[in-house]
Amino acid sequence: MGADLDVDVAVIGSGLAGLRAAIEAARVGREKIVVGVFTKTQVMRSHSVSAEGGTAAVLYPEEGDSLQSHMYDTVKGSDFLADQDAVELFVKKAPEEILQLERWGMPWARRDDGKIAQRFFGGQSFPRACYAEDKVGFFEMSTLYDTALKYDNIHFYPEWAAVSLLVENGKFKGLVALELKTGKIHTVSAKAGVLATGGAGRLYSFATFGYSSTPDGLYIAYRAGAPLKDMEFVQFHPTGLVPSGILITEAARGEGGILTNANGERFMKRYAPEKMELAPRDIVSRAMYNEIAEGRGVEGPGGVKCLHLDLTVLGAEKIKKKLAGIREYCMRLAGIDPIDEPIPVRPVAHYYMGGVDTNIGGATAVKGLWAAGEVACVSINGANRLGSNSTTECLVWGAITGKAAAEHVLANHNQTTVNKSDAAAIEKHIYDELLGKAPKENPYDIRQELQTTMEQTCHIYREEKSLLQGIDAVRKIRQKLFRGVVDSSRYYNTNLMNVLEIEMMIEVAEVILISALNRKESRGAHARLDYPKRDDVNFLKHTLAYYTEDGPRIEYISPVITEYAPTERRY
Ligand SMILES: Cc1cc2nc3c(=O)[nH]c(=O)nc-3n(C[C@H](O)[C@H](O)[C@H](O)COP(=O)(O)OP(=O)(O)OC[C@H]3O[C@@H](n4cnc5c(N)ncnc54)[C@H](O)[C@@H]3O)c2cc1C
């Protein structure tokens, strides 16, 4: 008995990183390689579609920008935890990717001289975010999807959720996937894999992610023996629209929008006198938290304390041309028009700097398995990512890993042997333990409880006491009797998928909390009230969390420092 399906390269996830990897693998292996793209949602429902503000790259060195400057901004933004060799590779490859997308049809915004336009994002010394209105992700995804469809050696498997990776003697050999439409569990054999399942997503309730963004890929890689790196670093974006949490892009501040408190004061002048609203996200989010905590918040919808993002200073024309998407969100979801009124905002969970540990080539600890995009930690983002670097990272490491996976297949012709029995444990769990069994506790209440726990114990500021409470709460949540799905139907049983997601969320939440507890310093997005200073002597290190039955085992490795020794971050 073999696998249900054989492919050469299995790409798991179809966001920017997955699509870019699939195209590169198909291009390198044309005629010889079959690429399967397995994705939990429909392709164009991937979170990347909602990227708004821009994609960073140095395009005009003759006008004053430089690779060196992009590299330094990124390393400083990361609070010196990024691997500098990876950042150097990143800034070098970024311009190629912008031009490659252009050739594939990406409608980049233009300057008056016809060249690709760029705007400021936080922490940048030069405006280097390329954009398309404020819908950059939608246009990038459409461009990549159209391109991928031209390759007849790329096969899409939409609404196939990977539930486990198949690994034998440390080597990747395929995956087990749940086909949502039919409820069938498939074994897929593959000679190489690229994991591109995005970040940990909705572990928090006030978040910019869609409902389906959950840490599946992180969990299955962790269970397969790949360590998770730097998971304590969770990015809170300063401007989540109240009450929905929908993102108001940093480009709104890049275009000149300002943040004000209840006294109408531009409070950022007290926190980052030079960069003001365009300081990196960790700094702006902490400033906002402090303003609200010290009583200078404004009363937002539903009585929620928030601050004002004022775009009225930009004028109607600029807003309509460059920020049309967020204007629509504000009108539809908050009933205000940012041309006339300030937007109520507060910091919102938005991005995970951590991910599956990879080397500079995107290879994980599992041989034959690469990871790219938000699920991976290369690491160029260290303790804090700069806005507009993530979409670029997806493109750069999508291309690198797709190529590497294809070359691996070309060099290793033997198909791996996968048996139907490889899926036995998961089939038992899904068919015997979950389907048709009424849970004693409502899984959606459990999900909410988990999110509330993360909001309350591991948010912008953390301390030992809250983190210990969080760990205790997550362990209690794990014991709760939510594992069951009343509906025994196999067709589109979203309830079943949600229960599986909650199981994975619990494990990844535990990794985040334990990694945060162990890092007894403040660096980038990890701000400890009980250890307010950065401690380069003991913690200029990446955290690695390995799965064990008793919970994560933590180890540390040093970051790669080539050019820039750590200094104090001032903006
Ligand atoms: C609202 C918003 C706006 C943003 N704006 C910007 C911006 O302007 N600039 C910027 O640089 N960054 C931005 N970011 C960050 C950036 O968009 C993301 O980090 C990036 O798009 C992630 O892409 P990805 O390819 O790694 O994964 P995603 O786009 O998150 O896609 C994940 C994919 O994995 C699939 N998947 C998940 N689980 C499974 C499973 N179990 N089995 C199979 N498939 C699975 C999903 O179906 C999906 O296709 C933004 C993020 C958000 C949330």
Cβ(350)–Cβ(237) under 8 Å? yes
Q: How far apart are CA 294 and CA 443, in angstroms?
A: 37
Q: How far apart are CA 556 and CA 533, in angstroms?
A: 19
pLDDT of 175 over the 60 cut: yes
Cβ(45)–Cβ(142) under 8 Å? no
- Ligand 1 centroid – CA 87 distance (Å): 20
Q: How far apart are CA 71 and CA 229, in angstroms?
A: 21
| 164 CB near ligand 1 (under 6 Å) | no
- Delimit the CATH 3.50.50.60 region(s) of the chain: 5-233+355-411
Supply the pTM of this predicted model.
0.97
What's the pLDDT at 183?
Answer: 96
Higher-confidence position of 531 and 302: 531
- Ligand 1 centroid – CA 197 distance (Å): 7
- Ligand 1 centroid – CA 255 distance (Å): 24
pLDDT-derived band at 109 (thresholds 50, 70, 90) equals very high
| 239 CB near ligand 1 (under 6 Å) | no
Percent above pLDDT 70 for the chain: 99
Phi–psi pair at 73, nearest 5 degrees: -55, -40
| 197 CB near ligand 1 (under 6 Å) | yes
- Ligand 1 centroid – CA 318 distance (Å): 28
pLDDT of 117 over the 70 cut: yes
Quickly name the fold that domain 421-557 has.
Methane Monooxygenase Hydroxylase; Chain G, domain 1 (1.20.58)
Q: Point out the least confidently predicted range of 44-53, 168-177, 243-252, 414-423.
A: 414-423
Q: How far apart are CA 159 and CA 385, in angstroms?
A: 30
Which residues neighbour 418 within 8 Å (Cβ) at sequence distance 6 or greater? Answer: 2, 3, 166, 173, 174, 187, 188, 189
Nearest residue to 476 via CA among 498, 509, 501: 509
Cβ(181)–Cβ(491) under 8 Å? yes
Cβ(154)–Cβ(312) under 8 Å? no
Amino acid in position 313: V
Asked if 281 is an active-site residue, the reply is yes
Count the neighbouring beta carbons within 10 Å of the beta carbon of residue 169: 6
pLDDT of 1 over the 70 cut: no
- Delimit the CATH 3.90.700.10 region(s) of the chain: 237-350
Distance (Å) of CA 19 to CA 11, 26, 149, 399, 569: 8, 10, 10, 9, 36
Nearest residue to 147 via CA among 99, 110, 96, 103: 103
Q: State which H helix or E strand residue 89 sits in.
A: helix 84-103
Q: How far apart are CA 550 and CA 477, in angstroms?
A: 16
Percent above pLDDT 90 for the chain: 97
- Tell me if the domain spanning 237-350 has CATH number 3.90.700.10: yes
Q: What is the pLDDT of residues 206-224, one digit of tens each?
A: 999 999 999 999 999 999 9
pLDDT of 413 over the 80 cut: no
- Delimit the CATH 1.20.58.100 region(s) of the chain: 421-557
pLDDT of 385 over the 90 cut: yes
Q: DSSP alpha helices (H): ranges in 266-388?
A: 281-293, 316-322, 324-329
Residue with token string 């300002």: 258
DSSP 437-483: B--SS-HHHHHHHHHHHHHHHSSSEE-HHHHHHHHHHHHHHHHSS--
For ligand 1, mutation pick of 197, 380, 389 (most atoms within 8 Å of CB): 197
Q: What is the pLDDT of residues 197-206, one digit of tens each?
A: 999 999 999 9
For ligand 1, mutation pick of 391, 426, 500 (most atoms within 8 Å of CB): 391
| 41 CB near ligand 1 (under 6 Å) | yes
What Rg, from alpha-carbon coordinates, does the chain have?
23
| 373 CB near ligand 1 (under 6 Å) | yes
| One CATH from 1.10.10.10, 3.40.50.300, 3.40.50.620, 3.50.50.60 for 5-233+355-411 | 3.50.50.60
Amino acid in position 38: F
Q: What is the pLDDT of residues 229-286, one digit of tens each?
A: 999 999 999 999 999 999 999 999 999 999 999 999 999 999 999 999 999 999 999 9
